[in-house]
Amino acid sequence: MEVFVDDSVLIKKYIDGDERALATLINRHNSRISGFIYSKVGNRNITEDIFQDTFIKVIKTLKRGAYSEEGKFLPWVMRIAHNLIIDHFRKTSRMPRFEGSDTFNIFTVVSDDKLDIESQLIKNQIDCDLNLLIEELPNDQKQVLIMRIYKDMSFKEISEITGVSINTALGRMRYALINLRKVIEKHNIALTM
């Protein structure tokens, strides 16, 4: 036969170090507190979060020895939950929350072009390898390639700066690419994401 132990007794036991007393208290009042929170917020996940935060406060207060309302455990917990519900609504009114539906996903409209962290790391590695390969090119080819690819200059501008004809600049670019491909193939280097 199960003996009903009063909340105040369980609280005392818990303060004295009996963790099972807390489990009994939580299970005893679980549905009432959850129901109360759910009736205000109308969302199961938020209910779960507020329930958790409520009991974190309860645990802290009891462990600190700051609880003094013996015999009124449930109203006290309800008041904590009520305050947290108000906090929740304050937060959501400051930052309105939008939830998509089955037919509309916000991420089809709003997108982030940035690479994810793994792709970014791979890209950095490729850029680094490519720089090493470019360093191996003859100076005239390297110069044209850097001006064309990294500085986005036209072949006309390159020819003016380097003092060679456009055709020569084009030829150096062509040889730079051929040489890069040769090195890549020779050493079996993979430069793809």
- Residues in contact with another protein by CB under 8 A are 19, 22-23, 26-27, 30-31, 33-35, 38, 44, 47-48, 51-52, 55-56, 59-60, 63-65
Shortest Cβ 83–another protein spacing (Å): 18
Q: What is the DSSP string of 48-109?
A: HHHHHHHHHHHHHHHHHT----TT-HHHHHHHHHHHHHHHHHHHHHHS------SS--GGGT
Nearer to another protein, 47 or 159 (CB): 47
Nearer to another protein, 35 or 71 (CB): 35
Nearer to another protein, 83 or 105 (CB): 83
Shortest Cβ 76–another protein spacing (Å): 16
Tokens matching residue 187:
């050493």
Any idea which residue has 């007794």 for tokens?
9
Q: Which helix (H) or strand (E) holds 162?
A: helix 155-162
Shortest Cβ 21–another protein spacing (Å): 10
Q: What is the DSSP string of 9-49?
A: HHHHHHHTT-HHHHHHHHHHHHHHHHHHHHHHH--HHHHHH
Nearer to another protein, 62 or 158 (CB): 62
3-class secondary-structure state, position 135: helix
Shortest Cβ 66–another protein spacing (Å): 9
Nearer to another protein, 19 or 185 (CB): 19
Shortest Cβ 16–another protein spacing (Å): 13
DSSP 187: T
